[in-house]
């Protein structure tokens, strides 16, 4: 935000309001909540730039120092409870997983910040090869959910978009691989997906190196299988997908596009010719998408969506890791 200020007002923002809380509502829903972290006071222009971060930023405040050998979702809740005191204590939306991960003191997941530990743990998935996403949503409540598509939240037409461009990055496809684990860099068995290999006529072999020195073989196998399940097919990535001010929910009711958020499922009804699959609710790579990121523009009242894959732009990568470049 940029505000016009007198010198006295600017100085008050600059020196007296660090970590002030900001909420933005549209009269019905809360669309943003964050804390003030950066200020740039320009006395010659009479302005101050204010940068707020969502409370996801609390995951970078206190490093985690304790080893754990338990279900990784339990480690995640322990870290939230002990180190993330600005996050809601309501953990009813944390899905319990069934993979035990041993975090040793020599592993890079100890003496690190929760945001990096969580990104590490999520890679282990579960015994059903589900991919998980972690988020802080309304009222600072944490969510750990599987990236599954069983129902629709938004049912839209191409005409509802201000821009609609989708792309496929063929090098995102991997249909074979193994995991590396343990202090001696042991290797799991190699697994392949025969259907994917037959479909694309190509074998792409991935080495899952994210499991860490403290991982046991079972955890490394889970990380390997979770990765391959998510990457054996090619999903379209929103290259420039921007909803206009108004969209429609699954019941056809008009709603502000600011209500669309990460974790929702969106279907574009007229993206491809109708078929018998139109009524199915799956990530079909054609018309139904899982929303991973949103960027709402409060000036233009538009919402930029990143579908099925995280944005690969530098700004988005930095934002996910809460890294700020010099300005």
pLDDT in tens, 140-150: 999 999 887 77
Lowest mean pLDDT among 95-99, 153-157, 313-317, 322-326: 322-326
225 and 278 together in one domain = no
126 and 245 together in one domain = no
191 and 247 together in one domain = no
158 and 299 together in one domain = yes
Mean pLDDT, rounded, for 204-229: 84
66 and 142 together in one domain = yes
Confidence class for position 167, pLDDT limits 50, 70, 90: confident
176 has which bridge partners?
A: 192, 205
C-alpha 260/C-alpha 160 separation (Å) is 13
Query: Does residue 188 have a pLDDT over 50?
Result: yes
* 325 inside domain: no
* 263 inside domain: yes
* 326 inside domain: no
* 185 inside domain: yes
* 265 inside domain: yes
Lowest mean pLDDT among 117-126, 216-225, 254-263, 309-318: 309-318
Q: Among 11, 29, 55, where does a domain finish?
A: 55
At residue 212, the pLDDT reads 67
Count other C-beta atoms under 10 Å from residue 81's C-beta. 12
* 327 inside domain: no
159 and 288 together in one domain = yes
Name the one residue in this structure whose structure tokens are 């538009």.
302
- Sequence-distant (≥ 6) Cβ neighbours of residue 60 within 8 angstroms: 113, 114, 115, 322
Higher pLDDT, 212 or 58: 58
220 and 89 together in one domain = no
Mean pLDDT, rounded, for 52-60: 91
Confidence class for position 60, pLDDT limits 50, 70, 90: very high
76 and 199 together in one domain = no
21 and 75 together in one domain = no
Mean pLDDT, rounded, for 58-83: 94
Q: 102-115, pLDDT tens digit by residue?
A: 887 667 678 889 99
Q: 263-321, pLDDT tens digit by residue?
A: 899 988 887 766 545 556 665 666 888 888 888 888 899 999 988 765 555 555 555 55
Range of 240's domain? 154-168+235-320
* 259 inside domain: yes
Torsion angle of C-alpha atoms 306, 310, 315, 320, degrees rounded to 10: 120
65 and 164 together in one domain = no
Total tally of structural domains belonging to the chain: 4
Confidence class for position 326, pLDDT limits 50, 70, 90: very low
On whether the CB atoms of residues 232 and 196 are closer than 8 A, the answer is yes
192 and 259 together in one domain = no
* 129 inside domain: yes
123 has which bridge partners?
A: none
Q: What is the DSSP letter of 141?
A: E
Whole-number average pLDDT of the chain? 86
At residue 323, the pLDDT reads 47
Q: What is the CATH number of the domain that holds 199?
A: 3.30.1920
198 and 130 together in one domain = no
């Amino acid at each position: 935000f940029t505000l016009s200020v007198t010198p006295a007002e600017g100085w008050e923002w600059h020196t007296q309001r660090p970590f002030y809380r900001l909420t933005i509502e549209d009269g019905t829903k809360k669309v943003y909540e964050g804390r003030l972290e950066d200020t740039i006071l320009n006395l010659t222009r009479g302005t101050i730039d204010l940068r707020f971060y969502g409370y996801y930023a609390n995951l970078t405040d206190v490093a985690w120092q304790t080893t754990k050998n338990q279900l990784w979702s339990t480690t995640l809740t322990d870290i939230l409870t002990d180190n993330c005191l600005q996050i809601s204590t309501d953990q009813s939306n944390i899905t319990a997983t069934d993979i035990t991960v041993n975090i040793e003191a020599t592993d890079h997941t100890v003496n690190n910040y929760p945001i990096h530990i969580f990104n590490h743990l999520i890679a282990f998935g579960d015994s059903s090869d589900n991919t998980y996403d972690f988020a802080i949503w309304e009222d600072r409540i944490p969510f750990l959910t599987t990236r599954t598509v069983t129902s629709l939240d938004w049912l839209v037409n191409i005409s509802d978009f201000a821009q609609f461009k989708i792309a496929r990055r063929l090098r995102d496809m991997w249909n074979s691989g193994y995991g590396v684990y343990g202090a001696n860099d042991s290797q799991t068995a190699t697994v392949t997906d025969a259907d994917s290999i037959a479909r694309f006529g190509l074998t792409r072999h991935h080495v899952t190196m994210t499991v860490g020195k403290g991982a046991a073989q079972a955890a490394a196998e889970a990380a390997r299988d979770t990765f391959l399940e998510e990457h054996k097919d090619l999903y379209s990535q929103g290259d420039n997908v921007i909803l206009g001010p108004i969209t429609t929910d699954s019941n056809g009711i008009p709603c502000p596009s600011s209500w669309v958020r990460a974790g929702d499922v969106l279907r574009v009804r007229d993206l491809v010719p109708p078929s018998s699959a139109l009524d199915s609710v799956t990530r079909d790579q054609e018309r139904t998408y899982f929303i991973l990121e949103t960027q709402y523009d409060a000036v233009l009242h538009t919402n930029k969506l990143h579908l099925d894959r995280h944005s690969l732009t530098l700004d988005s990568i930095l934002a996910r890791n809460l890294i700020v470049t010099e300005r």
